[in-house]
Amino acid sequence: MNWNEDLSVRVGEIDSQHKKLIQLINTLHDAMKAGQAKQVLETTLQELASYAVYHFQAEEKYMQQFKYPGYLSHKLKHDAFVKKVTGFQADYQAGKLGLSLDLMNFLKDWVTTHIRETDKKYSDTFIRNGLK
């Protein structure tokens, strides 16, 4: 999966974070395909989860700072994703779930759909408040 202009929110800092998020999903996908050890996959999944939290906090900080009206519903989407990924992590660690193509597709679809349909809505507000 590649970042492309179609995913741009027109704010450089946020676009960079989205690129990194996509890169981490690709790293997880590659590690899974290569049949890496469970410990490597756990570490990679943890890195992805931590970076997602870091990124969501950055967006939420700006949304609050700029009194973006869609803040709450946007934050709820972030929270639901974090809860889901944390659940995957727990199930994977407990041996109740394998890393599958389904899981990878869920991560990819969620991130690209979220950027296109939810993140892009804050672009005008962020730009009007001086982000570039």
Of 28 and 119, CB closest to Fe ion:
119
- Select from 24-32, 45-53, 87-95, 118-126 the region that touches Fe ion (CB under 5 A): 118-126
Q: Which amino acid is at 80?
A: A
- Virtual torsion, Cα 99, 103, 108, 109, nearest 10 deg: 180
Provide the sign of the torsion angle of the four alpha carbons 21, 22, 27, 32, taken in this order: positive
The least distance separating Fe ion from the CB of residue 37, rounded to whole angstroms, comes to 30
Question: Among all residues, whose Cβ is closest to Fe ion?
Answer: 119
| Among residues 119, 120, 123, 128, the one that binds Fe ion under rule CB under 5 A | 119
Q: CA-CA distances (angstroms) from residue 94 to 17, 39, 80, 87, 97?
A: 30, 12, 21, 11, 8
Map the footprint of Fe ion across residues 40-79, applying CB under 5 A: 59
For Fe ion, the binding residues (CB under 5 A) are 59, 119
